[in-house]
Chains A and B, each alone.
Chain A
Amino acid sequence: MSVATKARKLGLKQRYALMTRGLGWETTYQPMDTVFPYDTYEGIKIHDWDAWEDPFRLTMDAYWKYQSEKERKLYAVIDSFAQNNGHLGITDARYVNAIKLFLTGVSPLEYQAHRGFAHAGRHFRGVGPRIACQMQSIDELRHAQTQVHAMSHYNKYFDGFHDKTHMHDRVWYLSVPKSFFDDAMTAGPFEFLTAISFSFEYVLTNLLFVPFMSGAAYNGDMATVTFGFSAQSDEARHMTLGLEVIKFMLEQDEGNTPIVQRWMDKWFWRGYRLLALVAMMMDYMLPKRIMSWQEAWEMYFEEAGGALFEDLSRYGIRPPKYHEVAAKEKDRISHEAWGIFYNYTHAAAFHTWLPNEDEMAWLSAKYPKTFDKIYRPRYEQWAKMKAEGKRFYNNTLPQLCTTCQIPMGFTEPDDPTTICFRSSEYRGERYHFCSDGCKDIFDYEPEKYIQSWLPVHQIYQGNCGGAELGQVLDWYHINQGADNLDYDGSPDQQLWDKWMSDRKKAAS
């Protein structure tokens, strides 16, 4: 007699094993080394690819199920935001400039990440990391698409949203994020994962996608916070994989430790420099603020990162080199970056402004050691010059750091009043850097960084549309007189002020 029994459901671990490991095979027509030519040359030794663990144990079927649910929720909000004129609900149109910087500086990185993970996934012979990279590649494409869709609503009304990809490839400050990702994409697959999955996703993106997005919500931007948190729900998985790839490399072979440590040092500093843009977005571009850059740095790097590096110390890993320099800079980097953009606002695709009295009071309270002493007098002087009809513009092209490509405006670790300059000579040429961190990166791989496409050099070499600023801006596709210059007096401001006065009239 047989009794029909209900088929027992497989446990999470078994499902994961069958639906990832069960999908790989040893190649026979060609040797594995020929099929996967890139996963050994970086010096990382892997003895057992099956030791790779995906802690979330997500299989492709579950992945599609949850991702489609996320998309349905997200698109309901994006549609609703557009249908209900969501742009009228933001605190102030100055805020939109942070979103312009996001669309031109960050969204193209999502697309690059999509390409990068597709490439890295193809080149790992282990099926665990290959599937993790495949999911992440699809995630990143989703992020690029949903960001473009969400922000396209602002493009109907505001300037500077019209040509993100073209601008990303050409505009001077966008070479900062672009060159960061190009650097990662041209590395081997293990370095790419250390750069993006670990240093960027685990240690640093929290600072962009968590407090900044909460700030977007606080400023009434329902579309951005929704795509931000929808993307970040994937990032939580990416972060876990980032930590996993590090542990995997460290556990596989002792010889991997110094290689991994060097990559962590490099990519911490690369990512930290890139975050200067996020620092100023948080401290200057959110009309209503929830926390300062310094507070976010302390919460997400010093506390969360500190716990992480303490955990990794059992493998002989120490916190990334120059993290103590980042700690010294935490009460100045946002102010220095905003100062650079104020200087060059005529050459940017978004507007700048001087903080108003209330905002300066907030900055004084958040940065008691530095703001009143160093930055407030500077803003007061610039405000005075503007009132006299002599708005300060820096009309000389800046020297750029060869590694991070940011204009040389950062200061000495122990002296916030002196610009930090470092340089190295390589084959008879002198190269300049903003910091010891950037100099070290160059010195280790000079042949890579002497090829950098530095926007200022390219302008001087005649490769950017012409010798006049106007010609360069045309070549950037910056719509002059609309996209650039001060927020004060811009078409964006005029439109916003008209909406707000119409609202008052309608209410009276």
Chain B
Amino acid sequence: MKTVIKGLLVGVLLATTAISAIAQDKVVLTMWHNHPEWKDRVEAILNKYEEMNPNIDIQLEEISGTNYNTRLNTALTAGEAPDLFGLNPGPVTADAAAAGYTVDLTDRLDISGLTDSAKAAITLDGKIYSAPILGSYTVGLYYQRKIFEENGLTPPTNQTEFMALCDTLREKGITPMIAPAQDGIIPSFLYAMMVASVVKAEGFDEIRAGTRKFTDPDVLKAAYFLKDSYSCFQEGALATPYVEGKALFALGRGAMLEGGSADYAGFLETNPDVDVGVVPFPAVDGGTPATVTGMEAPYNVNAKSEHIDEAVAFLQWMMTAEPAQMVVDTITLTTTKGIVPSDNEVMKEMIEAGRSNDVRVFYEMPETGAVFGVVQQNAAALFLGDITPEEFAQIVQDAVKPSSSM
């Protein structure tokens, strides 16, 4: 009996030693991501990389969007951030680079395969600190095909049509628009598209340069449109969290939703039978329907990582054709040149929508970096009538830091 026990103990010891030896051979890369609803899809891509690189183990941790930056900021300050983490391009990435949190990837990463807009978005004063491995997003207006077809409706193209459509849908007992406005993110995107419909890409550059203002009479119309659009929102919009709103739309509880290409994967997670179309957001009367586009938090390498080379190699692979195809087919738009959705009709529609009048999101630019947050914080006051559209526009304008180099 004693011999058997001794034999078992020796066996366990040897097995443990062997497992730990194998584990020691593997390079573990930790990675934080801020879209829990994409977990399975992102892991499918990571698994592909791990199959090709058996010595690499990428441990993905999903953190919900509202908590992501809080945790990441704290972890970076404490020196306990993961090897790979996503940060918004522009001012936020610049801050992190200046603080020494991230690796300068300028000479380490080949970004020649990226689209020009993606290259521009991740380049800061000629340097590169991040890679857009999970692509970009374009925001437009989603609509429920079934509701529109059954009621003989067509997606609106301007403010007048949009407001009339809201009335029609309300009369039919249908919630016109789902807008989870608790944290102000959706109103901020709405305002961005309304402004874009007036100023277009050139005008946005003028806003950044300070030669055009949110308080200009034509741009002011966007603030009025935003205020009016509140009447189209679902009951309790100001207390509806982001995730609840997206789920409500996916379940067909409203006819329209302002949303991005990145949201579609979440709709499918909630309701695999979701049937939606997407168009540019209706224009302020006299303007052009618009979309806005931003990068899906490009990935940085932690300067304190013990596996910088492995992390960079992973980022490089993520910008190649195979993973880029998986991104565009299962998650959102890709920033890798020449990759188009194979059978994702919604992504194709989103790409089409973005061709009309697409403007980059406010928060990626140093001059308007604070604008997005200021709109978030003041949209509810506008909706409730606590401030006028003029006062709202002035508050937004005060957040612009014009650049003379524009």
Q: Do A and B come from one complex?
A: no
Footprint of A on B, CB under 8 Å? none
